[in-house]
């Protein structure tokens, strides 16, 4: 009899109760499913392809322009003092050689002014201004691409969502399945394109604004260098 009691106790300890099993199954069923990023991108539909292309173009243009503008804004701190010293001492050829051998839009603008030394101040300022405009155009080259992407990427996203909703409601009309899970499942997947388009457009707009601010800094340096150069030319007449 004692042996039988031990067996019953062992069975009760090893075998889970029915309530415990049911609770475990319910907990497993209630566990939220993870949404994988790649799966959502794939389910976004064909319009995710042009959105991906736009994102790659935006990144390339931003990096290329950023490196170009950064190089344009670099200038040796002793460049203008050396130009001043050469001009005030009458060594125009040395000033010209210094400006020609220095890279950057500021040096090229000053070089144009040195070439016009001896002409009226207004003519020198006009020549330097023309060179400055050309250098600004070079820095702003391809920035319009970022502006275009910032505008059309959200439109592509909304178009993908609209196309997905049309497909969802078409399927409902064919199958007469109007359950909430069917509608929500079709819509949330297609809204991926809207989210992607908005993110790409926002990043492109931020990149465009940032690069424009960097160009403004270079322009301020160019204007300061131009004013300093004109002051150097007017010093002997004081």
Per-residue pLDDT tens over the stretch 114-155:
988 888 888 889 999 999 999 999 999 889 999 999 999 998
For residues 187 and 167, the answer to whether their CB atoms sit within 8 Å is no
Mean pLDDT value across residues 55-61? 95
Confidence of residue 44 (pLDDT cuts 50, 70, 90): low
Residue 176, by phi and psi: left (phi above 0), alpha (psi -120 to 50) or beta?
left
Q: Rounded to the nearest 10 degrees, how much is the dihedral formed by the CA atoms of 162, 168, 173, 174?
A: 130
**Exposed/middle/buried for 172, CB within 10 Å: 0-12, 13-18, 19+?**
middle
3-state secondary structure of 19: helix
pLDDT of residue 10: 46
pTM over 0.85, yes/no: no
- Mean pLDDT of the chain, nearest integer: 79
Mean pLDDT value across residues 101-123? 89
Higher pLDDT, 143 or 237: 143
CA 159 to chain centre: 22
Q: What angle do CA 109, 115, 119 make, to 5 degrees?
A: 110
Listed ranges 6-10, 179-183, 220-224; the one with the highest mean pLDDT: 220-224
Confidence of residue 60 (pLDDT cuts 50, 70, 90): very high
Is the pLDDT at 12 greater than 60? The verdict is no
Cβ atoms within 10 A of the Cβ of 165, count? 15
- With a pLDDT cut of 70, the percent of the chain lying above it is 71
């Amino acid at each position: 009899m004692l042996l039988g009691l031990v067996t019953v106790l062992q069975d009760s300890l090893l075998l889970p109760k029915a309530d415990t099993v049911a609770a475990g199954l319910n907990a497993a069923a209630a566990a939220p499913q993870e949404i994988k990023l790649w799966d959502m991108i794939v389910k976004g539909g064909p319009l995710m392809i042009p959105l991906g292309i736009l994102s790659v173009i935006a990144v390339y243009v931003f990096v290329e322009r950023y490196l170009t503008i950064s190089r344009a804004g670099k200038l040796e701190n002793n460049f203008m003092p050396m130009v001043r010293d050469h001009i005030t001492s009458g060594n125009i050829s040395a000033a010209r050689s210094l400006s020609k051998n220095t890279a950057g839009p500021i040096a090229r603008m000053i070089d144009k002014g040195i070439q016009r030394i001896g002409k009226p101040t207004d003519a020198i300022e006009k020549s330097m201004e023309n060179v400055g405009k050309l250098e600004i155009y070079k820095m702003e080259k391809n920035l319009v691409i970022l502006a275009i992407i910032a505008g059309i990427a959200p439109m592509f996203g909304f178009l993908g969502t609209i196309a997905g909703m049309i497909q969802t409601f078409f399927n409902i009309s064919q199958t007469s399945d109007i359950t909430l899970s069917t509608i929500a499942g079709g819509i949330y997947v297609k809204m991926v394109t809207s989210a992607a388009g908005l993110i790409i457009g926002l990043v492109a707009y931020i990149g465009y604004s940032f690069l424009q601010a960097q160009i403004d800094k270079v322009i301020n340096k160019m204007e300061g260098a131009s004013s300093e150069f004109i002051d150097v030319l007017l010093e002997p007449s004081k």
